[in-house]
Amino acid sequence: MFIKEVIASFTKLDISNILDISELERVINDFANIIHGAWTKNSKIINITKHMKSWWNNNYNKNLAKYRSSKNIEDWKAFQKTVKNTKRYFFDLKIQEIANKKHSPWELMSWVNKHKLLAIEMIKYNG
């Protein structure tokens, strides 16, 4: 979108009357303002934190860019479905990894709230 906007604005720029240095400087300043405006409109500040989405990959960037360019509701639904399926797959793998690491389902308890054991479970623990 940035490049499209710069090209569209650049074609509207009046460069027909460049006869001296002051006119050239005006055109260059106008062009700089076009680039700055397009960059401010289309850029986004990203702060990398420890809470970033580790399941995010380049497929999402492509799907999201497709939606942003078309603004089609079907593209949005496809993007959301892709995100949902990949998140489910990612977190299922994480759960399996934790459960298989120590071969104990109790390792998963940090993923859910604390839970008191039933009396029968407390009796059966460790034989």
Q: What is the pTM of this model?
A: 0.39
* Encoded tokens for 74: 């079907």
* Encoded tokens for 41: 């409109």
pLDDT in tens, 40-80: 888 776 665 555 566 666 677 777 788 888 888 888 888 88
d(CA 116, CA 121): 10
Q: What SS3 class is residue 15?
A: coil
pLDDT in tens, 68-111: 888 888 888 888 888 888 888 888 887 777 777 766 666 565 55
Burial of 38 (0-12, 13-18, 19+ CB in 10 A): buried
pLDDT in tens, 9-25: 888 888 888 888 888 89
Question: Amino acid letter at 113?
Answer: N
Distant-in-sequence, close-in-space partners of 109: CB < 8 Å, separation ≥ 6:
115
Domain boundaries, the chain: 1-44, 56-127
Distant-in-sequence, close-in-space partners of 113: CB < 8 Å, separation ≥ 6:
none
Distance of CA 78 to the CA centre of its chain: 15
